[in-house]
Amino acid sequence: MILNEAVRLVEEGRSVTLPVDGRSMRPFIIGGRESVVLQQPEALKVGDVVLAWVENRRYVVHRIIRLDGEQVTLMGDGNIRGIEQCQRRDIRALATHVVDASGQRHDLYAPWRRRAARLWWWLRPIRRYLLYIYIKVKGLK
């Protein structure tokens, strides 16, 4: 499995660029069009985008929304209310950049992206409508 190999390389200290699929990180990461650059996680914090093993059965690239000791709560930016729980040891990599379809790398933690992610968190009650508009404007499925 490609994800297991990516995790192995990250554990060896290498940086890995991994294409992402799915809709759960819209509008910040577009599945099927963009990739993420993964590195070894260090000091995790709320707001980090991570590759995590959840439910003892699958990997997700989602944002940390809560840290409580060893317990980590994750939520995809494109999710309306669904969350996942895992342990710190289940965080396999930190996403540092998103790579767009033209190959340009964009820092996931640039100041404007951090502010946008915080604002997006507070817009949870109306995300459904904002995502609908975003999808129509961008011509996504």
Its pTM stands at 0.93
Cβ contacts of residue 83 below 8 Å, gap of 6+? 65, 73, 74, 75
Of 30, 28, 68, 19, whose CA–CA distance to 49 is shortest?
28
Q: Which distant-in-sequence residues (6+ apart) come within 8 Å of 110 by Cβ?
A: none
Q: What is the DSSP string of 35-76?
A: EEEEE---S--TT-EEEEEETTTEEEEEEEEEEETTEEEEE-
Per-residue pLDDT of the chain (141 residues; tens, 9 = 90+): 788 899 999 999 999 999 999 999 999 999 999 999 999 998 999 999 999 999 888 999 999 999 999 999 999 999 988 899 999 999 999 999 999 999 999 999 999 999 999 999 999 999 999 999 998 998 887
| Per-residue confidence (pLDDT) for residue 64, from 0 to 100 | 97
